Amino acid sequence: MAAKKEKPIILITNDDDITSKGIRSLVEAVSDLGTVVVVAPDSPQSGMGHAITIGSPLRMNKMDLFGNIEAWQTSGTPVDCVKLAVDKILHRKPDLCLSGINHGANHSINVIYSGTMSAAMEASIEGIPSIGFSLLDYDYDADFTAAKQTVHKIVTAVLNKKMEKHFLLNVNIPALPPEKIKGIKICKQAYAKYEEDFAERLDPHGKKYYWLTGEFKNFDKARDTDVWALEHGFVSVVPVQFDLTNYTLKKQLEKSNLFK
Amino acid sequence: MAAKKEKPIILITNDDDITSKGIRSLVEAVSDLGTVVVVAPDSPQSGMGHAITIGSPLRMNKMDLFGNIEAWQTSGTPVDCVKLAVDKILHRKPDLCLSGINHGANHSINVIYSGTMSAAMEASIEGIPSIGFSLLDYDYDADFTAAKQTVHKIVTAVLNKKMEKHFLLNVNIPALPPEKIKGIKICKQAYAKYEEDFAERLDPHGKKYYWLTGEFKNFDKARDTDVWALEHGFVSVVPVQFDLTNYTLKKQLEKSNLFK
């Protein structure tokens, strides 16, 4: 007879805040797959990148938001949440960390600005397999039906096949009904980004201030990018790493004697 | 007769704030190499990672801090500073962006948390060759003598050899007098990180709060890492890229049919 398998511990966080529909959808999508613990920010943290809180202390409060699922809100960033969860709440590494589901895209270069992906990356650095999920719909009340099905499929596959400890995925889901989604495509990060343009305004005292705006542009013509996949109705899955070394340039510079 | 060469425009920013000794040292180190323009935060932004300001507007003020060198302070993050500089101050891309000199190390995994490196990476994404500089001394009044010499040497070499537009370096300088520095070493990013431990305190009302603390640990035994170089008295130069795709895992997943 097979030994009774212990349920995996799944840490869930996000960057939109603990009350968002996206994190609730993520909890619902995987609650049958393991013991879920939620540790998430008490206020929106979009665009926080890999920010950590050094100069001020952090607060944590236990919340009753997800029925019988343990949940904590913190005053920190998404990265702080992962650190607090491991050190002060779980007192161990979870078996898997999930971040999201983000209200809005985190494909291409946005992996770098995204609080959702930074939380997932933090877990991966700590040696916890991790996945960030984003839905291409910024609406507060977005429809997460297809996203939940995608999450369940991917998390089931990842839990069934033991992944190496730094395993990290960036998953983006098109804003389509389930029957319109063509499948899941393994991709690379597109070179696509916002072309910034600051909107200039005058305050009531006649002084200028600036709002960040921008137009999204895809400079990458390859067909194996996340942007291509999403534009063609696929879920994009980009395997991500935190070693930022440019090994090609490293070899060139080693040969060049440029700094001798 | 050779045509008169136009001086390169060098954008300088940092994450410690515009009044720090580190940015002043960087300006002094390269002011003979081009037309320098400073755009930097009006308050310390360490640990801000690749944060950008989406939910609130930004302010800019022209400052008289560096003699005849144009300088602006902004209310934004280091990444915001680069965006504002290109779009609202220079109205063009500078020829080179320099970030720092940071008061403290940004080697190994810290490249991800570092505001200094995020500003440099932002410039690289925009197609501006860029270098981040950090000195391994957190002191407000650190001695930047050796750092300035290193900066001058590296920036001279980079300006003399036209670099491709996404060229990006993470340079860390040991806290040593110039004669003790053994040279400049091209390195990879070490897998070394802080093992977190939150210090728990009680506020005057009896409620808990937490300070992020941690011990730095090097898990990487390779001899071509930035941590190895710095421990052995070298300046470390890590070529950095912003494509975070894990191509090895991409190939594995494509073969595996894991998500079919």
Residue A72, in any domain of the structure: yes
> Residue B224 CB: number of other CB atoms within 10 A?
16
pLDDT, tens only, A128-178 = 999 999 999 999 999 999 999 999 999 999 999 988 999 999 999 999 999
Say how far apart CA A177 and CA A28 lie, in whole Å: 18
Residue B112 has pLDDT above 60, yes or no: yes
For the ranges B35-44, B165-174, B211-220, the lowest mean pLDDT is seen at B211-220
Contact by Cβ (8 Å): A122, A82: yes
Of B49, B189, B253, the CB nearest to A245: B189
Of B188, B240, B258, the CB nearest to A161: B258
Mean pLDDT across B74-103: 94
Residues 1-20 of B with CB under 8 A from A: none
- Would you give the DSSP letter of residue B257? T
Residue B209, in any domain of the structure: no
Looking at residue A1, what is its pLDDT? 45
Residue A43, in any domain of the structure: yes
Q: At what angle do helices B145-160 and B21-30 cross, to 10 degrees?
A: 40
Of B47, B191, B200, the CB nearest to A51: B47
CA angle A243, A249, A251 (to 5 degrees): 100
Residue B100 has pLDDT above 90, yes or no: yes
Contact by Cβ (8 Å): A186, A196: no
Residues of A in contact with B51 (CB under 8 A): 47-49, 51, 113
pLDDT, tens only, A201-235 = 999 999 999 998 888 899 999 999 999 999 999 99
Q: What is the ipTM of this complex?
A: 0.92
Residues of A in contact with B109 (CB under 8 A): 125, 242
* Residue whose structure tokens are 């270069």: A109
The pLDDT confidence band at residue B21, using thresholds 50, 70 and 90, is: very high
Q: CATH number, domain at A62?
A: 3.40.1210.10
Of A44, A50, A52, the CB nearest to B50: A50
Interface membership of A57 toward B (CB under 8 Å): yes
Looking at residue A49, what is its pLDDT? 60
Residue A45 has pLDDT above 80, yes or no: no
- The torsion angles phi and psi of A11, rounded to 5 degrees, stand at -85, 130
Q: Containing domain of residue B29, as a range?
A: 9-190+222-256
Residue B193 has pLDDT above 90, yes or no: no
Residue B3, in any domain of the structure: no
How close does chain A come to B84, measured CA to CA in Å? 8
Non-local (6+) Cβ contacts of B54 within 8 A are A46, A47, A212
Q: What is the pTM of this model?
A: 0.91
Interface membership of A246 toward B (CB under 8 Å): yes
- CA B109, B112, B116, B119 torsion: positive or negative? positive
Contact by Cβ (8 Å): A184, A169: no
The pLDDT confidence band at residue A11, using thresholds 50, 70 and 90, is: very high
Domain count, chain A: 1
Residue B202, in any domain of the structure: no
Residue B1 has pLDDT above 50, yes or no: no
Residue A212, in any domain of the structure: no
Looking at residue A260, what is its pLDDT? 82
- Put simply, the answer to whether B211 touches A57 (Cβ < 8 Å) is yes
Non-local (6+) Cβ contacts of B247 within 8 A are A188, A239
Residue B207 has pLDDT above 80, yes or no: yes
Residue A211, in any domain of the structure: no
Looking at residue A114, what is its pLDDT? 87
Residue A217, in any domain of the structure: no
